Amino acid sequence: MRTIQVATPREGLVNITRLVEGVLEGHTGLVYLFVPHTTCGLTVQEGADPHVAHDLLARLEELAPKLHPKDRHAEGNSHAHLKTLLTGVHLLLPAERGRLKLGRWQQVFLAEFDGPRMREVWVRLL
């Protein structure tokens, strides 16, 4: 298992595509990614237009606002846990000769909802 370290902002989508490809070492097959955290996730989204990330984060904020009258979690980050539930914490992606096989506009992102932090992404080559 390989580990990628990712410094994150307070909230945002951090493009980790090249970081993942940096540990593939010519691999052809599948790549399993997992984040061992409860307030960040992984997603594949459009990477060409930065407005997409902005729009997605804005819509997630509508679904899970930072302050909600029913939240009881003492740390005050229930919104981050809910957003992680929506994005998920793992991905299974194809790779060929050390490059991820993604669609034209697709990139891999770590979705941070409770930063800034130093996050880990675990990578298993299959």
Tally the domains of the chain.
Answer: 1
Confidence band, pLDDT 50/70/90 cuts, at residue 71: low
Confidence band, pLDDT 50/70/90 cuts, at residue 66: confident
**Domain of residue 63, residue span:** 2-125
**How far does Cα 123 stand from its chain's mean position?**
13
**What does the buried/exposed string (b/e) look like for 4-23 if buried means 16 or more CB atoms within 10 Å of the residue's CB?**
bebebeebbbbbbbebbbee
CATH classification at residue 101: 2.60.120.460
Q: Give the pTM.
A: 0.93
